[in-house]
Amino acid sequence: AAMAGFVRELERRGGPALRLEQRAAGGVGCVVWDAALVLAKFLETGACPLARRRVLELGAGTGAVGIMAATLGGAEKTLAFETCQEIVIVVCLKEMPTQQCGMFWALMLVHGKYLTSFGQSLEPLLKTLKDLTGPDTCVLCCYEQRTMGKNPEIERQYFELLQMDFELEKIPLDKHDEEYRSEDIHIMNIHRKQT
């Protein structure tokens, strides 16, 4: 009963709804975040074509974005990396047979490891992004803007540090899915700066 939760359905234009299980216990990685739903539906609009691309989802949580990318049919391979608890990986893999979505892997990654150890700073995440991107890599960052506590300062620092190596372009709200959009959920298109 400690792992009880509920299923959030995400309607799709061309097929059955995705059924994403959200757990009542297990931390932030067991939540189907609103920002994940917004980004998943943005991918479905076709504004960011996935044909002949490899898709990597960092901070996958329940894997909503990665699962949507895989169901769209164009993505060559979809990998979902979670940075929190092992149970999330089980949730992602458990849902896969019913999703009919082609190639999908769910793995554990600690930002900066393999490529420094994880700390409470932003540097490991930024290092991971730098290690995984090249000149033709498109990074989509979707986040819900928070106004409480340390969140605004962390957000400011993150984007300030990110701009040292990347160019940022905010995707206008009117380009998001008509139903899945919110004034406080932002999608950024991020590319490595040309050197």
Would you give the distance in Å from CA 181 to the centre of its chain? 16
Q: How far apart are CA 155 and CA 148, in angstroms?
A: 11
State how far the Cα of 65 lies from the Cα of 68, in Å rounded to an integer: 5
Residue range 57-116, pLDDT digits in tens: 877 777 888 888 888 865 566 666 655 444 344 444 444 444 444 445 555 555 544 433
Nearest one of 36, 45, 28 to 63, comparing CA atoms:
36
CA distance 78 to 58: 11
Over the stretch 70-79, which tens digit does the pLDDT of each residue have?
888 655 666 6
Distance in Å from the first CA to the final CA of the chain: 53
Please check the confidence at residue 41 and state whether its pLDDT lies above 60. Answer: yes
Answer for the pair 77, 53: CB distance below 8 angstroms, yes or no. Answer: no
Question: Is 138 within a domain?
Answer: yes
pLDDT tier, 124 (very low <50, low <70, confident <90, very high otherwise): confident
Separation between Cα atoms, residue 187 and residue 79, nearest integer Å: 20
Query: Does the residue 154 lie in any domain?
Result: yes
Structure tokens at 174: 């009117």
What tens digit of pLDDT does each residue of 155-192 get?
899 999 999 999 999 999 999 999 999 999 999 999 99
Cα–Cα distance measured from residue 170 to residue 193, given in angstroms and rounded to the nearest whole number: 16
Residue 115 placed within a domain: yes
Average per-residue pLDDT for the chain:
76
Q: Is residue 6 part of a domain?
A: no
Range of the domain at 176: 28-96+111-192
Q: 122 pLDDT exceeds 90?
A: no
How many distinct structural domains can be found in the chain? 1
The CATH number for 64's domain is: 3.40.50.150
**58 has which bridge partners?**
81
Q: Is residue 1 part of a domain?
A: no
- Of 138, 134, 112, give the one whose Cα is nearest residue 124: 112
In a domain, 18, yes or no: no
Instruction: Give domain status of residue 11, yes or no.
Output: no
Does any domain span residue 13? Answer: no
**32: which residues sit within 8 A by CB, 6+ positions away?**
8, 20, 22, 61, 62, 64
Band of the pLDDT at 33, cuts 50, 70, 90? confident
